Amino acid sequence: MKNLLVGLVQQSCSADRKVNIEKSTEGIREAVARGAQLIVLQELHCGPYFCQSEDTACFDQAEPIPGPATEHFGALARELGVVIVTSLFERRAPGLYHNTAVVLEADGTIAGTYRKMHIPDDPAFYEKFYFTPGDLGFEPILTSVGKLGVLVCWDQWYPEAARLMALAGAELLIYPTAIGWDPNDTAAEKQRQLDAWLTIQRSHAVANGIPLVSVNRVGFEADPSGAGAGLDFWGNSFVAGAQGEFLAKGSSGKEAVLVVEIDRQRSETVRRIWPFLRDRRIDAYQDLLKRYRD
């Protein structure tokens, strides 16, 4: 079983779709030039993070799948012979939209899609206004580089999502992400948030004995409504191994292309010494299906 070289493209985004797509494209080409076989892009990389406010005009940014973005990145995947994980604002039908990850196979075809299951509704993250919760479940996507457990951003806080992907045979957890600080937060609060974000995702790698890739955007984006302070996206895209160890990590303030080698055999080795899946008490977990144990 050969090792896998994964490329991560951490970029800033603006209202200029063409420029954003060019940045993603250049990042993909750079990663491939450095040997990457799988490229992961950040959440909603074709445009700004528009969910800071509620504006029906933003629905005009959505596109069908297949559509312009999948055509562009599919052609790029075919040209370069690599698998690409994209993240798009999907227009499924009039008035029905999803936050959707699309995995493009090395021949340019769509290997599979994942619609974001957990949808936040918090200050500066008003996603419930825009996105219908996913209905495709937690199913890994089979590709020429392995079974990919693709999830999206807010999903990264939920151990259930990672576990279900692992139980379905995912060999790698992947999280396209858009998360940032309120500029008014204190330095201490910012550090707590970042530490929590890194810790929870690394814990998914540990608990499931599989590597994890998380790609976040970077740069300040103003609230288009003017009501909020904007978001300072904190970058820190990273890859963790099967014991949660950092294999690579980007910075908080710079665009970056990371290429990381993942040992495919390590999950087997780690699961033999930390057999969490073997020791799960599946006979005693019924209450996990309840909202709360009153």
Q: Name 267's bridge partners.
A: none
Q: Active site residue: 13, 23, 43, 171, which one? A: 43
The 10 Å Cβ neighbour count of residue 57 is 8
Q: Active site residue: 58, 105, 116, 171, which one? A: 116
Q: How far apart are CA 271 and CA 83, in angstroms?
A: 26
Active site residue 43: yes
Active site residue 290: no
Dihedral in degrees, nearest 10, Cα atoms 132, 71, 233, 117: 20
Q: At what angle do helices 187-208 and 159-167 cross, to 10 degrees?
A: 20
Q: Active site residue: 23, 127, 153, 171, which one? A: 153
Active site residue 13: no
Measure Cα distances from 71 to 107, 109, 125, 293 in Å: 12, 9, 29, 47
Tokens of 198: 């890194």
Name, in order, each residue with C-beta under 8 angstroms of 142's C-beta and a sequence gap of 6 or more.
111, 112
The answer to whether 2 and 48 have CB atoms below 8 angstroms apart is no
SS3 call for 239: strand
Q: Name 239's bridge partners.
A: 213, 248
Task: Kindly list the catalytic residues.
Answer: 43, 116, 153
